[in-house]
Amino acid sequence: MTDDRSNDHHRSDDNRRSGEQLADLAAALRAGDRDPAAYAEEIRDRIDDRDDRVRAWVDGAKSRSWAAAEAEAMADRHPDGSRPPLFGVPVGVKDIIHVDGLATRAGSSLPPSELVGPEATVVRRLREAGALVAGKTHTTEFAYFEPAPTRNPHDTDYTPGGSSSGSAAAVATGTAPLALGTQTVGSVIRPAAFCGVVGFKPSYGRVPTDGVIPLSASVDHVGVFTRDVAGAALAMSVIADDWSGATIGEGPTVEAGPGGRPTLGVPDGPYLDQATEAGRAAFDDAIAALEAAGYDLVRAEPFPEIDAINDRHNRLVAAEAALAHGDWYAAHADRYADATADLIEEGRDAPVAALVDGRRGRHRLRERLASEADDLGVDAWVAPAAPGPAPEGIDDTGDPVMNLPWTHAGLPTVGLPAGDVDGLPVGVQVAAGFDADERLLRWARELASAVADAA
């Protein structure tokens, strides 16, 4: 281990100590035990102290005076009594999501005037719940593979993952207790794993995507990053459609498995073969920790045709990206990064059959996974959140292949920290049945504790 990396680890430990669990923070702000304006100032201090190294925030986030004024106005609107669930909570917003008053650049060099649009419903819901937008967080270009300038907070020589690079890094450094991301392949769960935080991608369609620059509308999801599962549940209760059940202070009530615990399916075969040696060893440690905690595990091969699933998903993304970017690309092709341009060109050449098969394939896979889970008595699937720890360098955000089939099926998926490999975080992802988001997050509280120090 180099001296530079050792220094980064020390800073990472400091960041963890000074970052808050969202659920506890929100309760303190609602109760008046924390002052929104003072907390906004504290967050601004952290950004000034830490973000030059990590670069999670676009333009360093909102100015100190702007953030203070919004926090004071929020406090004036709710002087006492009943306060909304995210009263005074600063939020980072991935820079493909429109926010009134902030430009959307989408990690690209296109003129911002080309990318304007009305504020996203997900942002409006956060504001109505009392949250304060602290600023935009860096994204890869148009949420694809051209890297953002963000670095991994645990070692700045390594990638934070993508495409929601800045959102994951902001939560990891304690410069935001909550951040929005999006996932079209693995853009929430993978950076959450690389940065050592909780990531949640809901069932397809549970969170509106209007006001979000699309990559592939059939598989685009809006998700969240927090430090705690309870915080993710709190955030989802605000931004998701038809969220059921209380989440503030709710215990881990569950309905399945012996003793109220879910039975977990463990994918094997060609899907798991995509993990690296280090990633597979870390996953084995996590499985051992779950066994030691008393979980029932069922080994299975749900993806014997994983190469075909991967190809189908990637063709769908390319075809829909070409549709979404048609006018922009026609006018500004020379401003697109090579990786994004190649995707769009591939999509323009794709036959209509690829688009149709990709869209139908999502439902076929979802139905098959549900049927297999029923046959096996499985309540949720647990898998590596990434092939391994973060790759070295910031020119590659890592491979989303471990996330792809769960995203293709549109299943709710939570990413949980599961220790580290040589100081770099690793994680597991847990996917439940379609529209079982609330149940998954209830289960995830105990699952997070079981795997927290696995690797």
Output the DSSP codes for 59-128.
Answer: GGSS-HHHHHHHHHHHHHH--SSS--TTTT-EEEEETTB-BTTB---TTS-S-GGGG--PPPHHHHHHHH
Domains and CATH numbers, the chain: 3-302+363-451 (3.90.1300.10), 306-361 (no CATH)
Name the least confident of 39-43, 54-58, 81-85, 415-419.
Answer: 81-85
Residue 451 contacts residue 264 (beta carbons within 8 Å)? no
- Banded pLDDT at 139 (limits 50, 70, 90): very high
Q: What tokens appear for 116 in the block?
A: 């304007």
pTM for the model = 0.95
- Catalytic residue numbers read 94, 163, 187
pLDDT of 285-340, one tens digit each?
A: 999 999 999 999 999 999 999 999 999 999 999 999 999 999 999 999 999 999 99
Query: What is the pLDDT, as a whole number, of residue 257?
Result: 53
